[in-house]
Chain A
Amino acid sequence: GQQVMQIPQYQHVQEGEDFTTYCNSSTTLSNIQWYKQRPGGHPVFLIQLVKSGEVKKQKRLTFQFGEAKKNSSLHITATQTTDVGTYFCAGPNTGGFKTIFGAGTRLFVKA
């Protein structure tokens, strides 16, 4: 079945270091969404990418959608302790009726 895979599963960084998580879909996606879940909290929508090759920035966060619309990445520059949490990518299934979530990348930031 359709799958959305994320790597790495975990990432430990020192505060100030950069961080990147990668997302790969087994099928072409009409769009990709990114969510952040703080420890003990619920997922919160960050951004949606729709166009092939699209790049969007939110302060220190840079999101990319691959040319083939099958992969995406989230890059955080100069991590802060407030960046701690799990980052999920997600995309619509082939029928478009439900969203397939990746397993998430859990980010730990050491001060």
Chain B
Amino acid sequence: DGGITQSPKYLFRKEGQNVTLSCEQNLNHDAMYWYRQDPGQGLRLIYYSQIVNDFQKGDIAEGYSVSREKKESFPLTVTSAQKNPTAFYLCASSMWLADYEQYFGPGTRLTVT
């Protein structure tokens, strides 16, 4: 089955801890994206990557970091510098550039207390 997997589905952390969210795709897509969604809100772009070993900041990159060492994987680290990390995090992938539809993973719900 082709698709995007995100793990875990739910994640709980104490304030001050860094946490890494996993995102893997086997769609052979070049582009990958991380979004944050707060309750009742839209999607806000955190980081995106068009090719391996390259990534760009989105609209709300502060307090987050990413890596793209493999085409299939785009992990997101939520650092302790992120002021309000509790949110629903969605990973997506698409073929080259934004002219193509995005395929979303099931998401990770992060709760930081």
Q: Of A35, A92, A103, which one neighbours B98 at CB under 8 angstroms?
A: A92
Beyond A30-B99, A92-B97, A97-B98, whether A42 also contacts B43 by CB under 8 A is no
Binds B, one of A18-26, A43-51, A58-66, A75-83: A43-51
Q: Count of chain B residues with Cβ under 8 Å from any Cβ of A?
A: 23
A101 contacts the other chain (CB 8 A): yes
Distance A48 CA – B94 CA, assembled complex (angstroms): 13
A71 contacts the other chain (CB 8 A): no
Q: List, in ascending order, chain A residues with CB within 8 A of B45's CB.
A: 98-99
Beyond A33-B101, A97-B48, whether A103 also contacts B41 by CB under 8 A is yes
Please give the distance in Å from B46's CB to the nearest CB on chain A.
Answer: 11
A31/B99 in contact, CB under 8 A: yes
Q: List, in ascending order, chain A residues with CB within 8 A of B42's CB.
A: 88, 101-104
Distance A104 CA – B45 CA, assembled complex (angstroms): 15
A-contacting residues, B45-79, CB 8 Å: 45, 48, 50, 56, 58
A42/B48 in contact, CB under 8 A: no
Beyond A88-B43, A106-B40, whether A96 also contacts B90 by CB under 8 A is no
Interface residues of A (CB under 8 A from B): 30-31, 33, 35, 41-45, 48, 88, 90, 92-93, 96-99, 101-104, 106
Interface residues of B (CB under 8 A from A): 33, 40-43, 45, 48, 50, 56, 58, 90, 92, 94, 97-99, 101-107
Please give the distance in Å from A12's CB to the nearest CB on chain B.
Answer: 15
Q: List, in ascending order, chain B residues with CB within 8 A of A30's CB.
A: 99
Distance A51 CA – B48 CA, assembled complex (angstroms): 27
Beyond A88-B42, A88-B43, A102-B42, whether A42 also contacts B90 by CB under 8 A is yes
A98/B48 in contact, CB under 8 A: yes
Q: List, in ascending order, chain B residues with CB within 8 A of A102's CB.
A: 42
Distance A104 CA – B50 CA, assembled complex (angstroms): 25
Distance A104 CA – B90 CA, assembled complex (angstroms): 16
Known: A99-B94, A102-B42. 20 other contacts (CB 8 A): A30-B99, A35-B102, A42-B90, A42-B106, A42-B107, A45-B102, A45-B103, A48-B101, A88-B43, A96-B97, A96-B99, A97-B56, A97-B98, A98-B33, A98-B48, A99-B33, A99-B45, A99-B98, A101-B42, A101-B43
